[in-house]
Structure 1
């Protein structure tokens, strides 16, 4: 009976086709391939649709290179956190040896868009070595935990479960099945290597903020809770070292190390498949041959170029702060979305835009509440959407009554390293906390960016370097309603000569 129904259905379907349902010459051409095909990757040759050996080599080279570019872009977060961890390990910072900016972050340290107005304390946790880890957090902190792919796990301090009062956190490694004692804020960590990023307020001075962290922050394994080892600190202010992602084969070697160290389910099957296609497989050695090494190096070049194109000319919505005028001011998180997803879909360009230029992911960085937290405006380009030229002079006008509850600051960065611009000035920053800055009679400010200070404007000047470009970030600490609703807005950074 079932066979008869199926046969009848097929006959009816065929009968319903138009009488002229013959395959046309155009249709045949659209599903066939000519013997010679000119493409962006070269001339491809076939015998009646069968690729020649040379064509197969060309196409596979292209496929491997494309997948390597995809891996480079999609795993910027993992590569960045690995580079930070590697850089800090080189100066002796480990789980209970915390790097701290006792004299604030200085340009000698290569950190993605770090700022000079906040006290940083960072540590890279290794739960593979330490097991369950206790963190005794001081009061008044602002911080978060990110995993090995630089994905958000949990807030700490003011936005976290301790509400800024401090307390004991217990960080459990993947698959932990031991006893969980009471009295802790318990956080289950999805990866073994994680970043703990803390900021301390310097509103009452830098020295007491440093003392608060160094006297009260403690990190130790739960197994040593009865006799915890001392937590040590490494002052990185003025230390020359590198925490940035590379643009060569070492990018993929570092990514492979992350894959080998972390649980297999730290990333999904789609990402694992892309990595496997270029030779990165958990539990297997990563030994690319000469051909693959060449392709990986080419892919890293293309990937870095693509990340820079996305940075300076993004094609996605939600990046412009003032889209009505197509202003050059942009934001780091497109649509202030820290998960980079919407309606169940990943926005890969938004993810690259952030991870290539910045570090540290927490929803707290994208939630603007009047009078609290912080908000940023980034000017990668000048008023005419041109790259800043370090040999020329520019001006930024901040209208009267800059709407901040705390303070504002403008910092300039090196376009190559996306780190603080290194000039003869100790800090490439100007802001309302600077005693040297002069305010106009109406309460507005004029800031100047040039190789030499305009006469009489030395206190409102940031030095730039001929032969180098730069970009600027305006940070608003405790932004008020006029900033949030955009009734107050900075000028574009305009070329003046």
Structure 2
């Protein structure tokens, strides 16, 4: 009910007179408030900053218009910085610009897995196999915010909360199928021009958001470009409290700039704890093991019992991209299942200088195939120890043991005779693996098949 005249806090000692802050404490209090708001803004705006960075990176690779589609031929590699891509898929990507183009059509390729997310990284639509065309190929129409014009028949139509929207394309038929994609303004539907396809697989580009003051400059671009209706009032209020308001130039003074730089660095530190060492039990797949679930709760909106799981949202967006219900709700024999860890059997952080083994137990519950990709713990991008730092049952090169299990090796140099089951690591750097099961089967869901911990051998 009352505040003492002297109060010790993480921000310093505060002085009051009968509950009223003394003049010498007011500045300290507001500095602390700005720091808290800045940290909260970082943790909640990571999804938006991630897509601002993605767009910037793709522009450096030549993807500067919605009708220019970047793709990875033959598949993604470690040449650029992207948050946890897999090395088994041919990706295609571009950004819609509904402000410049107005209503925009995407013709999804057949037998594809395609997603559109808005600029705040919220789900808009699935296309292809998980979408309403069921993989047959279909025409999708995306409308800008506030649109009240023509809505012609013959399209799967979606209203977008933001003008900028990210398009992710995955065609099971590889590059030839990818190039069947068509993106054009609705106004040009009678005679759409050909799309341009740019191979970005070997283009050095950085699509990862900042972890210092420039993070807030990334968010400022998003806030300035999109309408106030694009964001809920609470999150918009958090951003506005530190000067990120639509229609207002973001120009913090030296005091606030320094505080926000601290806030971003602290927010990044918290994000890394949430990601690599989460404290909620449900973030772990199996009791007593370090393997973690990147999509806690099974909700693509990170909702549980009417509340948003803020740590789960930060965790996912700090190291991953693409939001779709198909990822959050893997089903038996369909979609993908994921798990990752950053620690060995003794609870120590994985060290690129050491030698480790991981046993994939017999009969991995994957209808299609399984894979293990290695990532850099700093950038959350593919580890740059080799072009394809991964092993997969798809390639047929992994040598199983007599009992049907496969022992994988991770070290700077291959253990003798283990070259086919080895992924190189980098001395002086940490790394983390992501295990993916494509078409997960019942033993994955009922827990009868489990991954053992990674073992440090030397």
Q: Same fold (TM over 0.5)?
A: yes
CA contact 2:74–2:175 (8 Å) conserved in 1: no
Q: How far did residue 102 of structure 1 move? A: 1.3
Partner residue in 1 for 2:395: 434
1:85 aligns with 2:59: no
Aligned counterpart for 2:177 among listed residues 208, 212, 221:
212
Aligned counterpart for 2:274 among listed residues 303, 306, 310:
310
Q: How far did residue 367 of structure 1 move? A: 1.9
Q: How many residues align?
A: 457
3-state SS, counterpart of residue 135 of structure 1? strand
- How many Å separate the matches in 2 of 1:271 and 1:400? 47
CA contact 1:330–1:377 (8 Å) conserved in 2: yes
1:414 aligns with 2:376: yes
- How many Å separate the matches in 1 of 2:37 and 2:304? 24
Partner residue in 2 for 1:23: none
1:391 aligns with 2:353: yes
Partner residue in 2 for 1:285: 249
- How many Å separate the matches in 2 of 1:219 and 1:374? 27
Q: How far did residue 486 of structure 1 move? A: 1.6
- How many Å separate the matches in 2 of 1:43 and 1:233? 60
Aligned counterpart for 2:239 among listed residues 272, 275, 281:
275
Partner residue in 1 for 2:126: 155
Partner residue in 1 for 2:192: 228
1:341 aligns with 2:303: yes
Partner residue in 1 for 2:163: 192
1:467 aligns with 2:432: no
Q: How far did residue 411 of structure 1 move? A: 0.7
1:169-215 CA-to-partner distances (Å, cap 9, x unmatched) read: 111111111111111111111111111111122xxxxxx5201111x
3-state SS, counterpart of residue 369 of structure 2? strand
Q: How far did residue 435 of structure 1 move? A: 3.7
Describe how 1:172-191 pairs up with structure 2 within 5 A: 172-191=143-162
Describe how 1:350-361 pairs up with structure 2 within 5 A: 350-361=312-323
- Structure 1: stretches of 5+ with no match in the other structure: 1-29, 202-207
- How many Å separate the matches in 2 of 1:209 and 1:272? 40
- How many Å separate the matches in 2 of 1:124 and 1:141? 18
1:279-311 CA-to-partner distances (Å, cap 9, x unmatched) read: 111111111111111011010011000100111
- How many Å separate the matches in 2 of 1:230 and 1:91? 19
Deviates more, 1:364-373 or 1:274-283: 364-373
TM-score (norm 2): 0.97
- How many Å separate the matches in 1 of 2:332 and 2:234? 40
CA contact 1:368–1:484 (8 Å) conserved in 2: no
- How many Å separate the matches in 1 of 2:150 and 2:8? 65
1:39 aligns with 2:9: yes
- Structure 2: stretches of 5+ with no match in the other structure: none
- How many Å separate the matches in 1 of 2:292 and 2:392? 19
Q: How far did residue 51 of structure 1 move? A: 2.4
Partner residue in 2 for 1:455: 416
1:122-177 CA-to-partner distances (Å, cap 9, x unmatched) read: 11111011100011111001011111110111111101011000011111111111
1:166 aligns with 2:131: no
Q: How far did residue 465 of structure 1 move? A: 1.1
- How many Å separate the matches in 2 of 1:350 and 1:249? 23
Aligned counterpart for 1:241 among listed residues 205, 210, 213:
205
- How many Å separate the matches in 1 of 2:165 and 2:59? 13
CA contact 2:170–2:178 (8 Å) conserved in 1: no
Cα 1:209/1:32, change in 2 over 3 Å: closer
- How many Å separate the matches in 2 of 1:68 and 1:384? 36
1:476 aligns with 2:437: yes
Aligned counterpart for 1:129 among listed residues 100, 112, 125:
100
- How many Å separate the matches in 1 of 2:282 and 2:67? 39
Partner residue in 1 for 2:449: 488
3-state SS, counterpart of residue 42 of structure 2? helix
- How many Å separate the matches in 2 of 1:252 and 1:107? 27
CA contact 2:297–2:303 (8 Å) conserved in 1: no
Q: How far did residue 317 of structure 1 move? A: 4.0
Partner residue in 2 for 1:105: 76
Q: How far did residue 384 of structure 1 move? A: 2.2
1:404 aligns with 2:363: no
1:60 aligns with 2:25: no
- How many Å separate the matches in 2 of 1:140 and 1:394? 38
Q: How far did residue 457 of structure 1 move? A: 0.4
Q: Which has the larger radius of gyration?
A: 1
- How many Å separate the matches in 2 of 1:437 and 1:240? 29
Q: How far did residue 48 of structure 1 move? A: 4.3
